[in-house]
Amino acid sequence: MTFTSWQFGIFVAIVFAAYYLPALRAFQVQLLVFASLFFYGYGQPELLALLAVAVLGTYLFLLLALRNRQLWLPAGIAFNLALLAFFKYKLLFIDASPSLVDFAPLDFLLKLPLPIGISFFVFHNISLLVDLTRQKGAAPTLTGVFLYIIFFPQLVSGPITRAEMFMPQIKPKYVADIPFVEAAKWILIGFFFKLYVANNLNEMTSHMSYPLYETLQTQDRWLLVFLYSYQIYADFFGYSAIAIGLALLFGYRLPINFNLPYISSSFSEFWTRWHISLSTWLRTYLYVPLGGNRHGVWRTYLNLMIVMGLGGLWHGAGLSYLIWGLLHGLLLVLERPLLARLASIDFAVFRAARITVVFVCVTMLWIFFKLPNFDHAVGYLTGMFTPNTNPNPTKLFYNLALLYSLPVIIQHLGLRPLSEGRLRWAEPYLYGAMAALMYLEAGPETSFIYFQF
């Protein structure tokens, strides 16, 4: 059940109606937990047992760590990382030979599909353990822990919400407190970017896959890389926006996950604007514990490479993901000595040049993200710099490519007048146009890209 399905619309309407019934106000948390379990188990009920093990195991380690943090906090983190490693990276470590697969329990576990959203709820589990044991307060209730970890708007693809931000929000909710206008804006924007932008661009960028890309002309390879850059932003921003809007309807505020990342003038700035909840999590729970920038220049560089490399592997057990992360780490390392000097050069043309360089580099690296098979990624990249003489190239419609990319471009370059209030009168027409376009020109249904993580 995806956010864009009619089943999900009915599901949200029923849960919302029951959630605010005065007779059920005392059971709002339990209702959201039950709804989230239904949402997660819809279509894959066999994975509910794994989710229960992850949450109950984390809660047990939390209770123990509140008594002895030094011993049980590392154990709880190891428990969650072991779950993630087995289900996401099991085939890297386990030889699925017949002699092993004949062992029934292992055969069953090996055949389980990758649990949707495991990367996200494992990070929530670790945040819960670290934040609450650091505060040394009273143990939260089991239902509160369940809600934080499996709250359905953020369960599958985030945003990754820190426990110290979410847990204090668990209290009775009232209809009068709902920011309906704000929630509606987030939801509408999210659906627009997913249905109109991402789904339509997906039809074109599907030609980036092997062996389809071998039919492309050189200039079309370049075009599709930039289209994919717009697509992945629209897809993930769309999900995050819908999640934020849905959470507001139920009285919870999730963190902003994107802040116009494609106008970043440095790679470090890009990671403060792109997937903000992930980069914040990596900085808080990995980069800082490794020492951050407190132990000299070379140790700082090493820490950046480690964090970005692991951030790449977090997305998937493939060489392409590792290379993607390491190259981002390398860019962060290379620019670090220059940032202070570049900051002193402040004029429009130079800033535009910096934004262009960052955007092009980030876009080129999306090739390794789009093509998890490293050989395919290298093959696509090589073809971008090799003339193609294929007599029957794939036909791409450049005018449609521009139309579907335009919302991302306008959002990044043209929102300041609107945010400053000078074009506030145009807001209703803008949202009306988005609603019409996402209804009349929605692309073919596709799952959200980050569902695979």
Predicted confidence at residue 102, as pLDDT, reads 57
* Cα within 13 Å of Cα(344), Cβ side: 3
Residues 35 and 128 in one domain: yes
Predicted confidence at residue 137, as pLDDT, reads 72
Residues 146 and 210 in one domain: no
Residues 102 and 205 in one domain: no
Long-range contacts of 343-351 (CB under 8 A, 24+ apart): 351/265
| The token pair that represents 254 in the structure block | 């999730």
128: exposed, middle or buried (Cβ count in 10 Å: 0-12, 13-18, 19+): buried
In order along the chain (453 residues), what is the average pLDDT of each group of 10 residues?
88 96 94 94 84 93 93 94 83 54 61 78 93 84 94 89 92 94 96 96 92 89 95 96 96 95 95 94 92 90 95 88 95 88 79 94 96 94 86 77 93 68 76 91 85 68
Q: For this structure, is 315 an active site residue?
A: yes
Q: Is residue 1 a part of any domain in this protein?
A: no
Q: Is residue 22 a part of any domain in this protein?
A: yes
Residues 97 and 244 in one domain: no
Residues 87 and 206 in one domain: no
| Domain limit, last residue, from 177, 196, 217 | 177
Cite the DSSP H helix spans in 20-141. Answer: 28-41, 48-65, 69-93, 98-101, 104-111, 118-135
Q: H/E element holding 17? A: helix 6-19
Q: Output the pTM of the full model.
A: 0.92
**How many domains does the chain contain in total?**
2
Residues 270 and 408 in one domain: yes
Residues 223 and 145 in one domain: no
Name the residue range of residue 66's domain: 6-177
42: helix, strand or coil = coil
| The token pair that represents 139 in the structure block | 């143990």
Predicted confidence at residue 110, as pLDDT, reads 67
DSSP per residue over 332-387, as a string?
HHHHGGGHHHHHT---HHHHHHHHHHHHHHHHHHHHHHH--SHHHHHHHHHHTTS-
347: exposed, middle or buried (Cβ count in 10 Å: 0-12, 13-18, 19+): exposed
Residues 173 and 252 in one domain: no
Predicted confidence at residue 418, as pLDDT, reads 55
Which candidate in 275, 315, 328, 376 is catalytic? Answer: 315
Predicted confidence at residue 371, as pLDDT, reads 93
Alpha carbon separation from 289 to 121, 156, 229 (Å, rounded): 21, 27, 32
160: helix, strand or coil = coil
* CB neighbourhood size of 383 (10 A): 18
Contacts of 278 (CB under 8 A, 6+ apart): 123, 158, 160, 311, 314
Predicted confidence at residue 55, as pLDDT, reads 93
Quote helix, strand, coil % in the chain, to nearest 5. 75, 0, 25
